Every structure is written in C-alpha cells, then in structure tokens.
Structure 1
Amino acid sequence: MDLNVLWFILITVLFTGFFLLEGFDYGVGMVIPFLPREEDRRMAIRAIAPVWDGNEVWMITAGGALFAAFPHAYATMFSAFYIALFLMLFALILRGAGLEMRGKDDSRLWRRGFDWAIGIGSALPAILWGVAVTNLLAGIPIGSDMVYRGTFTTLLTPYTLFGGLAFFLVFLYHGMAFLRMRVDDERMTNDIMFAQRFVGTLAAFAFVICAVLTLKETDMLASIPAVLALVLAAVTFLLGCAFSGTGAVRKSFAMTSAAVALTTIAFFLALFPRIMVSTMGTGNDITIYNAASTPYTLQIMTIAAGILVPIVLCYQAWSYYIFRKRVTREDI
C-alpha cells in the first residue's frame, strides 16, 4: 500500500478514537457543574476518573503522527490555529487541575470553583474542535509556500461557529448518554434523562443543520463515500436520541458513539487526499504527497506503529474492562 495513504488512514483512526473517547469525557465535564447534589458530581467524576487522561493521549498521538508523517501540514496547521490551540491547552490544563484538585479540600467554595473549571475546561475544547474541523474542510487562506495568510478572526465564520456549537451539543449529549450507562443511581440518572431530552432536541437540530451546511459550504458532495458517512452519522445520532427516550441506554450510547465516529470519518473522506484545503487556489492545497516525510521515514514509522499501536489498543481495552463496573453511591 502507498505509505502516504496508509498514514492518512492511521491519522483518521487516531482522530476518530480521540473524538469518540474524549467526546464523552468533554460531555461529562460539561454536565458536572449543573448536577444538583455533591454526591452526583462525585459519581460523575468517578465514572471518567480511570480513563479521562488516557483518552487525551489519543490527541497527543494523532498530533505526533501528523508531525512525523506530514510535517509540512503540521507546521501550517499549528501556525494557522495557534491562538485556538493555545486556548485549548489552557482549557485542558484547567480541566485537568479541576479533576485532580477538587477533592483536596471539603469547602463548598473550593469544590464548586473546580466544578466550573472542569465545565469550562471541557466546553471550550469541544467548541474549538468544531471550529477547527469545519475550517479544515471549508478551507483557509494558504499560500503557495504553505504559509497561512489569515488571522484568528479569519477562522471565525458563521459556518465554523455553528460547527463549534454542533460539536458542543453533540459531545454534551454523548457525555449524558455515557453517564446514564455508567452510573447506577436512579435519582441521578432520572435527572440526567430529563435534561437529556432538551439537549438531545437541540443537538439533533444542530447536527442535521451542520450536516446540511457542510454540504453547502464545502466540496464534500464531490465524495460520495463522505456524503454517505455523514448521512449515516445523522441517522445513527437520531437513533441514539430515540433509544434514549425508551431507556435503552447502552444502545443510545452505541448510536451516539457511531455518530461521532462516522462524522469524523466523513470529514476525512471529504478531505482525501488533502490534509488542509486552501481558499487561494487548489494548487495551494496541502496533500498527503506534498506535505509528507521521506519514504524511508514513513517505512520506519510504519514498522514502529505496527508493533506499538496494537499494544496500546490492547492496553486501553483492558483498562476499560477492568473499570467496567457501574458507579454507585456506595463507591464514593
């Protein structure tokens, strides 16, 4: 297989895993400040405590793979999204500090302060990822020298801002579905179910509208597999909402997970063989060929990935299996 294509596929898999796993982490984090009881907030944190930092590693691994396989794309992307990435880093530090520090003191002010740190630190990255992903497909001004020609405000268009809102709502709903599946407490899950109905309605509308805008504002229609994946993502998300209403929480979470994964795949299918789209002419697009490392580098990386990636996947699957027990009030 063409190693450039292989690494594009691997990066797609890594980002898909990141959005799928970190997506429900973001959602749970956004819910925490609004849970009415301290016991509920502690159970929510306990539900993601064994896995949240491991889920973040998918983003680091995806960024590292992008840097090693397509360094020119990495350089342009991180330059274009510099302020957004700085804000995301600040938010992730805030969230990590909240998750680790809120239990260090029993005062209400201390804990509620860190609850909001977790909430803001989860919401901001979700919005920024939506803005970034929609920008990648809609295109940004990139010159023939692979240098970004815009500013931070160039990235903020009605379409990309709505993309950020859609990501926010979908991840919030995804997190609620995860909590209902992982927490064994009827009072808490009933509260979440009541809120989930409202959030699900907003998220479903936002998802469908964002999908329509994507077909209108980008060239996704040129890729039939991408369009099919996006349509299937919308269908599975609506099925997740339907299953949630019937109380089939595992099926609901499975459908929202499929929706997140299919959306990510749809965007990468629409990009291929590009990594970044330029609005300054198709000749300035950054592709898997003009941005790639040397063939020898890709060969060495492929050998390393073939050995290490299965180990990482097995370890993460094992960790989820070990912590598969549902969280109860007695656990806290």
Structure 2
Amino acid sequence: MEFSFDLNFIWFILIGILLGGYAILDGFDLGVGALHLLTKTDLNRRILLNSIGPVWDGNEVWLVTGGGALFAAFPHVYATSFSGFYVPFMLLLFFLIFRAVSIEMRSKQEMLWWRKMWDYLFSFSSIFIGFLMGVAIGNVIQGIPIGPDKEYAGGLLNLLNPYAILVGVTTVAAFMMHGAIYLVMKTDGELQETVRGWVNNTIIFFV
C-alpha cells in the first residue's frame, strides 16, 4: 500500500494535535474540578480554584479550534458526528457552560449554601465533561453505524455501550490523576500532603 502525504493527512494530524492538546491542557483543570469536593474547607476549595484560574478558559480554545478545523477539513465527518452525537454534544456544551458559570459565580456571595451549590455544580460538571468526552472517543475508536446517506444509523442507547462507558470512566480517571499531579505543583503545606495522597489513589483508579 503506497503512502500518500497529502492535504487530508496533514489536516488529520493537525486536528489530532488540536484535540490532543485540549485533552492534555484542559484535562488537568477538569481533573482539579473532579477532585474539588474532596477538600472540606472553603479556603482549600478557593486555593484549588485559584490554581486553575489563569488558564481554564484559555485551554478551551483548543476544543473550539479543533471543531473549526474538523468543519473546514472534513465537513462530512463534522456533519455526521455532530448529528449522531447531538445529545451528548449538547450535554457537553451545557456542562461546559455550567462549569464556567460556577467558577465565576461562586465567590459573588459569602453564604455557605451559595458556595456549596456552585462547588457541587463545578465538580459534577467537570466529571461529566470528562465522561462524555471519553464516551465519544470510545465510540469513535469502536466505530459507529453510518448509513449510505452518511447519517448516524443508531440511537442514543447505542452510544452508551460497555466499551464507550469504560473509556468514559478511564478518561475521568486520567483527568483526575492529571489534576492531582498538577495540584502537587501548585499547593504547599498540609494541603499538598493531602493532594499527594490523591495522586496515589487516582493512579490506582486510572490503572
């Protein structure tokens, strides 16, 4: 089989780099969000949020750029994936919005119930973002049924197959491990020692 280094191949590599960059660079702050509720004091939760404060929104540019590149280079793939994964992608979008709002709104009021509400929303949104990304990746790796009209031929439940769910859980575990390692570099003292314990646990969870 003759290898062809054409424009399609270049775009394929470029999109892979963009989506991989998103997984790496946004993965650690999604992991920090997934670990957020493991801290019990308001101060420690504020420290965790401050650790990702300067970078969390910028990291999401990789996802937007990857989607735009997919639309420009492979419009049929873009159309099929976004129509077939419509519900998961809409859920992903909502969780991204909820996560951003929770980061911005948490410190607007000092009431305990207010901050707890946004803490839970931030953490659960981070977990579900990672899970949905993993489910999408699992289905892409495994393959999805596509009809002759280039439309997704399955249903929503077909996307929630055991392999895709396993990849989703593995993705969450990888992000949590990534986030814990990142927090070791961004914290000190007693909190850092606590985070070191998270690193060991998340590595076991990932493996």
Instruction: Give the TM bin, normalised by the shorter chain.
Output: over 0.9
Q: Match of 1:182?
A: 186
| 1:144 to partner: Cα distance | 1.9
Aligned partner of 1:58: which letter?
A: W
Q: 1:165 aligns to what?
A: 169
Q: List per-residue Cα deviations over 1:30-86 (Å, max 9, x = no partner).
A: 111221221111111111111100001100000000001111100000011100011
Task: Pick the aligned partner of 2:26 from 13, 22, 27.
Answer: 22
Equivalent pairs counted in the alignment come to 203
Q: In structure 2, which of residues 192, 195, 199 is the aligned counterpart of residue 192 of structure 1?
A: 195
The separation in 1 between residues aligned to 2:173 and 2:124, in whole angstroms, is: 14
Q: Distance in 2 between matches of 1:7 and 1:16?
A: 14
Letter aligned with residue 158 of structure 2: T
Amino acid at match of 1:34: L
Matched, 1:57 2:61: yes
Shift of 1:195: 2.7
CA–CA distance in 2 between the matches of 1:9 and 1:199? 30
Q: Distance in 2 between matches of 1:195 and 1:101?
A: 27
CA contact (8 A) 1:33 1:112 kept: no
Q: After superposition, where does 1:108-187 map in structure 2 within 5 Å?
A: 108-183=112-187, 185-187=188-190
Amino acid at match of 2:181: A
* Deviation (angstroms), 1:137: 1.3
- 1:216-255 to 2 correspondences below 5 Å: none
Pick one of 24, 45, 50 that aligns with 1:46.
Answer: 50
SS in 2 for 1:85: helix
Residue correspondence of structure 1 range 279-294 to structure 2 within 5 A: none
TM-score (norm 1): 0.60
Structure 1 stretches of 5 or more lacking a match?
205-332
Identity of aligned residues (%): 42
**Does residue 102 in structure 1 map to residue 106 in structure 2?**
yes
Structure of greater Rg:
1
Gaps of 5+ in 2: none
TM-score, scaled relative to structure 2: 0.95
CA drift of 1:182 comes to: 1.6
Deviation at 1:199? 2.1
